Structure 1
Amino acid sequence: MQQLTQQLNPVVHWAQQHRQMRERIIHRRICDFEILLLEQGTVEVQIEARPPFQVLPGQFFLLPSRQKHRVQVTSDTHALFLGVHFDFYNELHIAKDEDIIVYDDMTDDHSFCSMPDRPEFSEWLSASSLQATPDVYNLLERIIHEFTHRPTGYMMCCQGLLFQLFVQITRAIHQHHRKQASAGTQQAISDLARSIGASPGDDWSNEKLAAMLSINIDYMGRLFKKCIGTSPNKFVQQIRHTEAKRLLKDTNDTIEHIGLTIGYSDVHYFARIFHKWEGMPPGVYRKFCRLL
């Protein structure tokens, strides 16, 4: 195992665009690491005992060293990939392509590459498929071009491109996690809006809403408006106003009681808010409804 202070010295072992037919299901391990970007078709991938995940065109994924994996084409005919095999520390001596692959019927006397024990690589192994940015796509194409045509200095060029690719993969993983967190927060706000609609008389202060979402008040206000389309205060007032109109029309409850029911302890404040929204006081609104 490499020391934490060991410098990265990445090397490309194999790189090309390649095709996998539907009839072929790959079950194997590899001695190094492989990045695969799917250009055409759809595939299902499973790594060790983790749940399988689907890969769509324009997405990429990492096959780690040592771990068993299965890659199966799920589209009608074939899948087309950009693929790059590499290691991080130039640990392997690869004389031929077959030195990279370990099948179940082979002896287990192979050397496997190390994963850097560094924060920027810590999430690589838990990621499934990720949407490829133009930078990721371009870097993979350039690595394949250099490795295939092998002009003078191609290995140094490939190493430099690998460093750039590592950065872009790390950023893609971080962006994916941010989107997941954002989606989770939006769902939480939508659920919260439904709760407000179901119980308008509860305490729905900004402080309470922020605490329920475990975020600060300012950030909660921005997210709420982005998700619901209006500020938390206006949304709560709107829900309460709708309920107040229903109670004024359908019940004989006093205006003070209705105000308490929808969350306003001060009847005068309730009357001002109602007038602001409806253009008339609650008592006048009740008389108007009963004239119709």
Structure 2
Amino acid sequence: MRIPVCRVVVRATRWLTPRMRRVTFGGPGLDGFASNDAADERVKLLLSPSGGRPALPQIDERGLSYPPGAERPVSRTFTVRRFDPDAVELEIDIAHHNGRAAAWAARAQPGDEAAIAGPTGGYESAASPGCHLLAGDETALPAIATILERLPAGASAEALIEIGDRRAELELTSRADVRLRWLERNGARAPAGALLVEAMRALAWPPETPRVWAAGEALAMRAIRRHLRDELGLARDRFQVVGYWRDSLSEDEAIEAHLAAQEAARGAGASEAEVDDAGLY
């Protein structure tokens, strides 16, 4: 399946918090943007490393390919925060985090050019009634917001969100009955995601097994995945746990390490669960 790619232009930017920057994109390339308004729908944001207009790739199930000699763009995946088909505008919230995409977002101005590939993905379980558990750090906040907004009335959810301090809190809305817990690091030297892992392990589980969605620092997510699968015995179709980034590694280094680790595990005949744990994501 070929994933559509289009050029976009920055129309507006604003800081939602000192740690979160909203970028609004427009342009005729978004006329055919096929959003299904799903929770955690995702796009790849493509940026020129040298500034200006990025080269456009072809994207299919084999990955990205570029014309010979083209400058390879910076490519990062983000949640679609909102798409307005009437205004033909796409909003993406980008955490102020280490990395080239975050640095670009911090200085982005109307008129700056980029490209978008997608949309893809989506968290279908957000439409399910019953009990939900969400967990993540600042980088997962946009996805958590879209999930909460799409939970149906009558559903219940607990959301655990690790942040630097209270300045990173966002107002989150939902039709569901939501218990929201902000886990503030406040300068603590503990590893990224440690508060999330601790909170997940200490959680008093409801009588009804929840559907679980979690995302954030990769090693913390690995620990949470193992807790859900090996210690609590949750079936694989009850949880989705994704590593977004890796502490102490650049984005490009983390992606390369993830792919190499999973390939090595497959080559050694590892089980599907072991392949999951071998990769960073």
- Per the shorter chain, which TM-score range? under 0.3
Q: Which one has the largest radius of gyration?
A: 1
Larger relative strand fraction: 2
Larger relative helix fraction: 1
Q: TM-score, normalised by structure 1?
A: 0.22
